[in-house]
């Protein structure tokens, strides 16, 4: 056999005990493929203007805030379309929908790369929102749950762990491509990756007959999603999502307001990414031994604790402690958002529940950056910290209330 094959097989052999899945199984291939397509998908869409935005604004004759509103448009469209997505996936599976999403993403990026004014720029982000609904995060997690079955929590942990590297990999690569080719050629290259890499991988590696679809055929009627549990889970996730996405654009300002110089603020902000990735490792290293609620509550509790630290401290040590607590909390909640619905809702409803949860999540993601920026600008950094402390405390209490409701529902459903 060729040496390259031996090396690849050796790597897979080493990774098999980590993933806990059979070597070269369809689930392993799907998780590897989805890790790559999610990196390309998010990097080519939501993360793109962070690097190319100033060049886009100059060439398109648009104000930079309007250019940076593109990802917000994308998230709003994703929120608007997410609700019916779950039922579509239950009927057809993720394979055709994610393949279609890749094609829509290529079309949106083609439109963006050829745009010469605000009209086609905005239309391109609408198309990317439609694409994101079909191929980013929620459908990818549903695809893993379709294939992994009882090992879904483990497989989802691997997928989310890989996703934590998106900005670390994509931003430097995008910057290099823009320097060499310009932002238009970079955007068109990403469009080609969507069409010729993501679409084939989705079509080849994802399940043709998902477990949920087979179960739905066997069941007389679809299982119900418990309304109070869904409401509490959505409120907790949306509140924490509002905080994390709101801080994405203001964290350096908050560090400087706490007394750090610019270099110290940049160093503390950069460390958040490392801590966030470490937080994503928690569930993975736990190997499923820790209950999803326990991990989720621990992560949710770290958010208000981190804001209290920054409110009480004006030193670099305090900022680094905040970055550690906040980053770990962000990483843990990213995993919890994918895995906790598996524990709460009946088998076969994961697709529906995840798609519906995406509505408040995407709305909170879209609203958070401009609202937090407004608070920082007009009320000051301390007011933004107090707002984050209050909202994250509400998120923790809501998740704790969900645990109590879930236990009561389980107790009443058990035979006496």
Gap between the Cα atoms of 308 and 297, Å rounded = 17
pLDDT of residue 8: 41
Task: Kindly report whether the global pTM for this prediction surpasses the value 0.85.
Answer: no
Q: What is the DSSP letter of 116?
A: -
**Residue 397 has which token pair?**
């209490």
Cα end-to-end span (Å), the chain: 61
Residues in Cβ contact with 214 at an 8 Å cutoff, skipping those fewer than 6 apart: none
Residue 61 has pLDDT above 70, yes or no: yes
Gap between the Cα atoms of 144 and 206, Å rounded = 8
Gap between the Cα atoms of 281 and 285, Å rounded = 6
Residue 136 has pLDDT above 50, yes or no: yes
Gap between the Cα atoms of 282 and 280, Å rounded = 6
**Residue 29 has which token pair?**
């291939």
**Residue 323 has which token pair?**
């970055």
Q: If pLDDT is split at 50, 70 and 90, which confidence band does 15 have?
A: very low
Stretch 53-59: mean pLDDT, rounded? Answer: 93
For 174-230, the pLDDT digits (tens) are: 999 999 999 999 999 999 999 999 999 999 999 776 554 544 444 445 677 888 999
Count the Cβ atoms, other than its own, within 10 Å of residue 13. 11
pLDDT of residue 233: 94
Helix or strand run (H / E) with residue 197: none
Residue 97 has pLDDT above 80, yes or no: yes
Dihedral angle at the C-alpha atoms of 103, 107, 109, 112, nearest 10 degrees? -170
Using DSSP, state whether 58 is helix, strand or coil. Answer: helix
The alpha carbon dihedral of 135, 362, 391, 230 has a sign of negative
For 218-264, the pLDDT digits (tens) are: 444 567 788 899 999 999 999 999 998 887 767 877 888 878 888 88
pLDDT of residue 17: 39
- State the helix-helix crossing angle for 118-135 and 94-114, rounded to 10 degrees: 160
Gap between the Cα atoms of 143 and 132, Å rounded = 14
Using DSSP, state whether 216 is helix, strand or coil. Answer: helix
Gap between the Cα atoms of 277 and 157, Å rounded = 12
Whether 252 contacts 266, CB under 8 Å: yes
Neighbour-count burial of 130, counting CB atoms closer than 10 A to its CB (0-12 exposed, 13-18 middle, 19+ buried): buried
Stretch 36-48: mean pLDDT, rounded? Answer: 94
Distance of CA 379 to the CA centre of its chain: 29
For 283-329, the pLDDT digits (tens) are: 777 656 667 788 899 999 999 999 999 999 888 999 999 999 999 99
Using DSSP, state whether 313 is helix, strand or coil. Answer: coil
For 138-173, the pLDDT digits (tens) are: 999 999 988 887 788 888 888 888 888 887 788 889
Tell me which range, 20-34, 37-51, 166-180, is most confidently predicted by mean pLDDT. 37-51
Stretch 331-352: mean pLDDT, rounded? Answer: 86
Stretch 115-144: mean pLDDT, rounded? Answer: 95
Gap between the Cα atoms of 259 and 252, Å rounded = 11
Stretch 261-274: mean pLDDT, rounded? Answer: 85
pLDDT of residue 262: 82
Question: What CA–CA distances, in Å, run from 386 to 277, 308, 375?
Answer: 26, 8, 11
Min mean pLDDT across 79-83, 212-216, 221-225, 333-337 is at: 212-216
The alpha carbon dihedral of 213, 29, 276, 154 has a sign of positive
Count the Cβ atoms, other than its own, within 10 Å of residue 164. 20
pLDDT of residue 12: 40
């Amino acid at each position: 056999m060729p040496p390259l094959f031996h090396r690849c097989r050796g790597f897979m052999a080493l990774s098999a005990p980590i993933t806990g899945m059979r070597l070269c199984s369809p689930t392993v291939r799907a998780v590897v493929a989805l890790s790559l397509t999610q990196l390309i998908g998010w990097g080519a869409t939501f993360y793109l203007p962070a690097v190319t935005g100033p060049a886009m604004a100059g060439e398109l004759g648009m104000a930079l805030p309007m250019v940076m509103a593109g990802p917000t448009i994308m998230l709003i469209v994703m929120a608007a379309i997410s609700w019916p997505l779950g039922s579509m996936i239950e009927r057809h599976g993720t394979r055709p929908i994610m393949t279609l999403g890749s094609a829509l993403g290529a079309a949106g990026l083609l439109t963006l790369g050829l745009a010469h004014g605000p009209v086609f720029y905005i239309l391109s982000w609408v198309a990317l929102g439609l694409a994101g609904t079909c191929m980013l995060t929620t459908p990818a997690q549903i695809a893993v749950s379709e294939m992994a079955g009882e090992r879904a929590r483990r497989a989802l942990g691997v997928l989310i762990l890989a996703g934590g590297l998106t900005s670390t990999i994509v931003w430097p690569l995008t910057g290099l491509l823009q320097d060499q080719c310009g932002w238009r050629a970079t955007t068109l290259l990403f469009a080609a990756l969507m069409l010729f890499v993501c679409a084939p991988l989705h079509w080849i590696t994802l399940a043709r007959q998902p477990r949920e679809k087979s179960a739905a055929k066997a069941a007389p009627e679809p299982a119900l999603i418990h309304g109070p549990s869904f409401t509490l889970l959505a409120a907790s996730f949306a509140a924490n999502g509002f905080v994390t996405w709101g801080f994405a654009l203001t964290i350096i300002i908050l560090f400087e307001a706490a007394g750090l110089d610019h270099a110290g603020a940049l160093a503390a902000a950069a460390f958040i990414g490392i801590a966030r990735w470490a937080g994503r490792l928690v569930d993975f290293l736990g190997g499923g031994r820790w209950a999803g609620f326990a991990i989720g509550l621990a992560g949710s509790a770290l958010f208000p604790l981190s804001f209290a630290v920054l409110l009480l401290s004006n030193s670099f040590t305090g900022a680094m402690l905040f970055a550690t607590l906040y980053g770990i909390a962000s990483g843990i909640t990213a995993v919890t958002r994918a895995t906790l619905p598996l524990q709460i809702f009946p088998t076969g409803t994961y697709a529906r529940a995840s798609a519906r949860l995406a509505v408040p999540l995407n709305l909170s993601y879209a609203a958070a950056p401009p609202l937090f920026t407004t608070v920082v600008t007009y009320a000051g950094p301390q007011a933004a910290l107090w707002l984050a402390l209050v909202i994250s405390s509400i998120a923790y209490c809501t998740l704790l209330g969900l645990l109590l409701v879930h236990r009561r529902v389980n107790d009443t459903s058990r035979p006496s």
